[in-house]
Structure 1
Amino acid sequence: MLLGTGAQAQDKPVQLKLSSWVPPQHPLNPSLIAWAEDIKKASGGSITATMYPSEQLGKAFDHYDMARDGIADFAYVNPGYQPGRFPVMAGAGLPFLFSNAKGGSAAIDAWYRPYAQKEMKDVHFCFAFVHDPGTFHSHKKIVLPSDIKDMKIRPATSTIGQLVTSLGGTNVQASAPAARDALSRGVADAITFPWGSIVLFGIDKVVNYHMDVALYTTPFVWVMNKDKYNAMSPAQKKVIDDHCTTEWAEKVASPWADFEYAGRAKIAAEPGHEIYKLTPDQLAAWHKAVAPAEAEWASSVKKAGYDPKAVMDSLKQELVKHKAGL
């Protein structure tokens, strides 16, 4: 042990810039800071990190390229912010797959690791995770797929965007921090969002109707600049590798999962909000409505050189294994 500590003490100090586009009070940030503190401890203090929240280093849409280009050493990425760029990962954003975010984060990470080597080859992949299932929050009640026609909707993922388009709606591109403004100005009529974040971003002040269904989750990745990783010593690389695992994906995502789940009760306690369930027939209509989005996703994955059935079957197997499927 003494020899091991000595070797680590001789490693050159590495300072990491961690970039997150959500505000400091978002539960993901403390989780990532705790993750970085564990890295500091495991590296004998040779790897330290500073968190930059609230888009300080760059816009939410740019975080993948920021990690690629070294503007950030680690970046929190929503792959759906760049539709078409990550076709395999987009499959995890299809509706009616995930029941919860804890097992769901372990499932998506275990599933995506083999694909990340090709699909996200510009960066060093650390782990993938999801938030607790989200739904439609809107100015007017959305019950059936036909209600989407002529509505302007801010979709959480590219696959939800495809669903909106197929139903005759218009997509409004806005990052999470910019969503409230879009809704308050009438640029958007509805948003797909998880429950706790509706309150966190103040969106509960501008929408009143909330569909009570586990419609979708958003897949995210935590990725690293390749040059930064390659410049580390073997001992430091091992510390990073030990913190870029399926276990850490679930550990980092769990506090956020609890936060989002608790959001439903917060909204229910606010006056002027209607949370409504769907009848079995209405739910069946939504399941039928997502078929074109699923077909469009399958086509894009096929073009990228993958078998869409094999890709989706492997995701569903991981969801069953981690008790996170619908």
Structure 2
Amino acid sequence: MRMSCLALLVAASVTPALAQEKTFDLKISHWVPASHPLQKALEDWGTAVEKESGGTIKYHVFPAQQLGKAKDHYDMARDGIADVTYVNPGYTPGSFPIIAAGELPFLMSNATGGSEGLDAWYRKYAPKEMKDVKFCLAFIHSPSAFHSRTKKIVVPADVKGMKVRPADATMADFVTLLGGTNVQTSAPEVRDTIERGVADAVTFPWGSLVLFGIDKVTKYDMDAPLYVTTFVLVMNKNTYDQMSDRQKKAVDDNCNTEAAARLAKPWGDFEDSGIGKVKAESGHEVYTLTADQLAQWKKAAEPLVKTWADGVKKVGVDPDQAMKELKASLAKYNALAH
């Protein structure tokens, strides 16, 4: 009798807690095609959260700007249009000056380690810089460079007079610095922009060059680790705050540096495999840079570091300390470019 009473008491104490758990159906939004490796990576992320929440957090991935434009994805998470969004901070220049450090040329050598290094470093700054949302994780794509329709871009002076679609705000500053003109457009619109002659060249990773069909309208491809683009996954705060402790833990366990690497690796492998595809295509010239040419690019990029430093000083961050920490984090994960 005593045992059955105890069992009833235990059951009574457990059942209400589980009964209070709402079921969530997360809208996960991104802006690349469903055929992009990010689609499966986000589905895997959602599946992991669903499993660890005991099935109380479901998800649905919306690709290809179905819920909103690429540049609006941070605001979409903030405003609850989507629950989880994939954001390119560089699509809104000046809004996220700290994480823009990751966009500086010749800083990172590979996607997986670069993502781990960036994520581990940015966790200290995300609550300040992205306070309107719950920061989940940060990652990058593989190091990439210029692809041009009109001429080979070998030295910085070659950019002068060209119309370039930059990958992010830092590359936009670089194009301006070199005497080029920026053409702002989201990734899905790049092929059409170049085909119509609105832009002459683009900074874009290799695998995506083929996926978006941009290889059909470009001819000359620089093979150099010129830049990477930083990305983040962020979540609507209200959605997260309504969750039970168990549900929050399911999210938190997939919003860490290890999860950043899991998300980045398939995409990194996909981009790295793209260079072979482009080399195999007729009508493409893939070229490397000499040591002297590379030195010219690094010299030309130096003012970008000062521009970044000035931006973070305005938000009360010591740029020297922040950069020192970022380089140490990248070195720890074997992703600091030399």
TM-score class normalised by the smaller sequence: over 0.9
Distance in 2 (alpha carbons) for counterparts of 1:258 and 1:90: 23
Task: List per-residue Cα deviations over 1:31-56 (Å, max 9, x = no partner).
Answer: 11011111111111100000000000
Gaps of 5+ in 1: none
Q: Report matched runs for 1:71-110 at 5 Å.
A: 71-110=81-120
**CA distance in structure 2 between the partners assigned to 1:39 and 1:230 by the alignment:** 16
Residue 302 of structure 2 corresponds to residue 291 of structure 1: yes
> Are residue 124 (structure 1) and residue 134 (structure 2) matched?
yes
Q: CA deviation at 1:5?
A: 9.7
Q: Give the greater-gyration-radius structure (CA).
A: 2
Instruction: Encode CA deviations 1:186-216: one digit per residue, 9 max, x unaligned.
Output: 1111100110000000000000100110111
- For the pair 1:58 / 2:92, whether they are aligned, the reply is no
Of the candidates 154, 166, 169, which is equivalent to residue 158 of structure 1?
169
Distance 1:315 1:19 in 2: 28
Q: Which of residues 178, 192, 195 is equivalent to 1:181?
A: 192
1:221 aligns with 2:221: no
| Partner Cα separation in structure 2 for residue 225 and residue 200 of structure 1 | 30
Amino acid in structure 1 at the alignment position of 2:60: T
Q: What is the identity, as a one-letter code, of the residue corresponding to 2:141?
A: H
Residue 293 of structure 1 deviates from its aligned partner by 1.3
Aligned CA distance change for structure 1 residues 176 and 192 (closer, same or farther; 3 Å): same
**Matched ranges for 1:1-326 at <5 A:** 11-139=21-149, 140-326=151-337
- Count of aligned pairs: 325
Q: Which amino acid aligns with 1:281?
A: D
Q: Distance in 1 between matches of 2:163 and 2:290?
A: 24
SS at match of 2:125: helix
Alignment RMSD: 1.5
Contact 1:8 1:44 in 2 (8 A): no
Q: Give the AA of the match of 1:277.
A: T
**What is the distance in 2 between the residues matched to 1:119 and 1:174?**
24
Give the ranges of 4+ consecutive aligned residues of structure 1 lying more than 3 Å apart after TM superposition. Answer: 2-10
Q: Deviations over 1:158-194 (max 9, x none)?
A: 1111111111111110100011111111111110011
Structure 2 residue ranges without an equivalent (≥5): 1-9
Change beyond 3 A, Cα 1:309–1:11? same
Hey, what's the Cα distance between the residues in 2 that align with 1:177 and 1:98?
Answer: 25
User: TM-score under structure 1 normalisation?
Assistant: 0.97
